[in-house]
Structure 1
Amino acid sequence: MPRILAIDYGSKNMGIAVSDALGMTAQPLVTYKRISFERDIEYVSRLASEYSVEKIVMGLPVHLDGRESDSSRSARDFGERLTASAGAGVEYFDERMTTSVIDRMLIEEADVSRAKRKKVRDKLAAVLILQNYLDSKAITDDNTL
């Protein structure tokens, strides 16, 4: 089964995760420090090729009431350019509260320091986005049997 790549898109960093070969679990890859729009596209496209990615799930940062934000539009712009470059379809997935959930988990359950949280927050947010996406697809697939 082809893999799925997920991106927690931010203005300074992108967290990136990939599904396992069965498409059941999300694995953290990297927190990528953004350089420029073009270089960022090239980097993610290389990862998509390296992992034989069929689809890219972009976390879509929306307001709590569901309205899209400037960050949402920026993520969509990136996704559109990525589709052309990576040769993989891009799907957008609501990422509301993912960073907050990750921070809470790292503080309350793992007692991770602020400096260490900063290093892993984005890639773990990408893992959460991808795992939520995979779980939602599994539920949908189960209901259509």
Structure 2
Amino acid sequence: MICARIEDLAGALPPAGAIAGLDLGTKTIGVAVSDGLRQIASPLTVIRRVRFTADAAALLDIVAGRGLAGIILGLPLNMDGSEGPRAQSTRAFARNLERLTPLPIGFWDERLSTVAAERALLEADASRRRRAAVIDQVAAGYILQGALDRLRYLA
């Protein structure tokens, strides 16, 4: 079930249970997961994109293996808040994923999440190679943490 607003997602989620945060890119999907109490987001992995069916299968393996209760997709809005082609692509991904899982799927504004992730990795003195390898999952962590903070406020 796709939840248009974070408030709708809060109502669709069970009281407890971990959720996933996704940073959808054209070549990769960064994945982060929360703890069961939905307090802290942790970067998990990067899925190399092939085609939707393979991407969704890899994602749903993670969801099933961890017993996740919901999914947050980073929505790449333009800086003025409008939706461009990337946001439309993210919504299409959500619609296709909705056909494969009964879990609630929500969106979170991901503007500047990659910039924040890059800064954090630079401050941690990560090498260029290391930054390239983990940037998407760290960005997914920033997306998920923002959504978790908002969900906690709504509770």
Structure 1 length normalisation: TM-score? 0.92
Letter in 1 for 2:46: T
Higher strand share: 1
Moved more, 45-54 or 30-39: 45-54
Q: CA deviation at 1:140?
A: 2.3
Letter in 2 for 1:61: P
Identical amino acids, percent of aligned pairs: 34
Letter in 1 for 2:71: I
Cα distance in 1 for residues equivalent to 2:152 and 2:36: 15
Confirm or deny that 1:38 pairs with 2:76.
Answer: no
Cα distance in 2 for residues equivalent to 1:83 and 1:20: 23
Confirm or deny that 1:120 pairs with 2:120.
Answer: no
Cα distance in 1 for residues equivalent to 2:22 and 2:121: 20
Residue 81 of structure 1 aligns with which residue? 96
Letter in 2 for 1:126: A
Q: Which runs of 5+ in 1 are unaligned?
A: none
Cα distance in 2 for residues equivalent to 1:3 and 1:18: 7
Structure 1 segments of 4+ aligned residues over 2 angstroms from their partners: none
Q: Could you say which structure has the greater relative contact order, defined with CA pairs below 8 angstroms and 6 or more residues apart?
A: 2
Q: CA deviation at 1:62?
A: 0.8
Cα distance in 1 for residues equivalent to 2:32 and 2:72: 10
Q: CA deviation at 1:87?
A: 2.1
> What is the number of residues matched between the two proteins?
140
Cα distance in 2 for residues equivalent to 1:27 and 1:86: 22
CA-to-aligned-CA distance 1:66-102 (integer Å, 9 cap, x gap): 1111111111111111122122111011000000011
RMSD, aligned α-carbons: 1.0
Moved more, 77-86 or 55-64: 77-86
Q: Which runs of 5+ in 2 are unaligned?
A: 1-15
Cα distance in 2 for residues equivalent to 1:2 and 1:116: 31
